[in-house]
Amino acid sequence: MKKRLFYIFTGAGIIILIAAIFFYKLLFGISVYPMEKSVTLYIPSGSSYNQVLDSVRTNLNVKNPELLSWVADKKRYPESIKPGRYILKEPLSVNELINILRSGRQTPVKITFNNIRTLNQLAGKFGKELEADSVQILDFFKDESNFRDDEFTKETIISLFIPDTYEFFWNTAPDGVYVRMLKEYNRFWNADRSARAAEKRLTRTEVSILASIIDDEVTKKDEKPRIAGVYLNRLIRGIPLQACPTIKFAMNDFTITRVLKVHLETESPYNTYKYLGFPPGPIGCPSIEGIDAVLNAEEHDYMFFAAKSDFSGYHNFSRTLSEHNRYAAEYQRELNKRKIFR
């Protein structure tokens, strides 16, 4: 009797062990294969479980679809679908796949932006990479009520975006983009930068406005602090900034290479030849280089600058209008010589 029981229990144990090993391999063994070296599963917000399965079937070769559905059901995945962008490069088990999708461990999107002039361009940049399209993003940033409490306006909100590379989850909504960029903005404007702005009696926004003008005006990094000093001198003395980049912005024509007298008559609050002080907002995303140039502006008594006639990208600086006019005339003659009339 004891031997019979021994054999029965031993046999049952072996069967259970074999079944456990089989089930373990079935559940945890490799059975899901990307159809390419790297596949991306996009699960839009509000997706149903069937829509998820469609995306899985399109991008992955699943050896046992029934097991996948069984595991998903046991883990209650259909009740807690997480939208996102999931990049899969290696074969994995059905259990691993469901765990990834159920946890929402999506792969972030990297968004890099610089040389952005308008909110339209900025929205287009984000719209290409995120679930929200450019129209949704633009609509959010055109609605002043979304950021009025943080003291931004429709004209100044572009200063929120400090050019760099940032990571976002693909399903980040427009308000999420704003919250993230506000966090980065406040981190950038640390105690040191804020103190230097205060020393120059400038707000963050005013620094950004000058920086955006300088970014467009100057190609040589080493000249930016000096030109920042010229603009600050003009502001202190109540002289118009007379910055050509603001004319191009006012006309919404960035192809202009030669600002003419007729352009200076453009009616716009951004026309710094007509109106004293700062324009309503930046004329583009101010670069870190431009912002720091303003914060570290040279102290001098130059009031004017004109591009050098050798087209080196550098400028001649002047203390008097008569001296400036001579340099400007040299540059104008060279423009004529090169047949640059617009």
Does 59 lie in the same domain as 125? no
Does 179 lie in the same domain as 197? no
Does 330 lie in the same domain as 205? yes
Does 221 lie in the same domain as 158? no
Does 158 lie in the same domain as 182? yes
Does 125 lie in the same domain as 209? no
Does 330 lie in the same domain as 203? yes
Q: What's the structural domain count of the chain? A: 4
Q: Per-residue confidence of the chain (342 residues) as pLDDT tens digits?
A: 555 654 555 555 555 544 544 454 555 568 888 999 899 999 999 999 999 999 999 999 988 888 888 888 988 999 989 999 999 999 988 889 999 999 888 999 999 998 899 999 999 999 999 999 999 999 999 999 999 999 999 999 999 999 999 999 999 999 999 999 999 999 999 999 999 999 999 999 999 999 999 999 998 999 999 999 999 999 999 999 999 999 999 998 888 888 888 998 999 999 999 999 999 999 999 999 999 999 999 999 999 999 998 988 899 999 999 999 999 889 888 888 887 766
Closest CA to 146 of 175, 119, 112: 175
Last residue of a domain, one of 144, 172, 188: 188
Does 325 lie in the same domain as 211? yes
CA angle 60, 62, 64 (to 5 degrees): 165
Last residue of a domain, one of 128, 156, 188: 188
Does 171 lie in the same domain as 254? no
Does 326 lie in the same domain as 237? yes
Contact 279, 195 (CB under 8 A): no
Does 326 lie in the same domain as 239? yes
Q: Tell me the C-alpha to C-alpha distance, in Å, between residue 23 and each of 15, 32, 69, 279.
A: 12, 16, 15, 70
Domain membership of residue 342 (yes or no) is no
Phi, psi (degrees; rounded to nearest 5) at 108: -65, 155
Closest CA to 70 of 112, 103, 27, 110: 27
Phi, psi (degrees; rounded to nearest 5) at 212: -65, -35
CA angle 132, 133, 138 (to 5 degrees): 100
Q: What is the CATH number of the domain that holds 63?
A: 3.30.1490.480
What does pTM read for this prediction? 0.85
Range(s) of the domain holding residue 58: 31-103
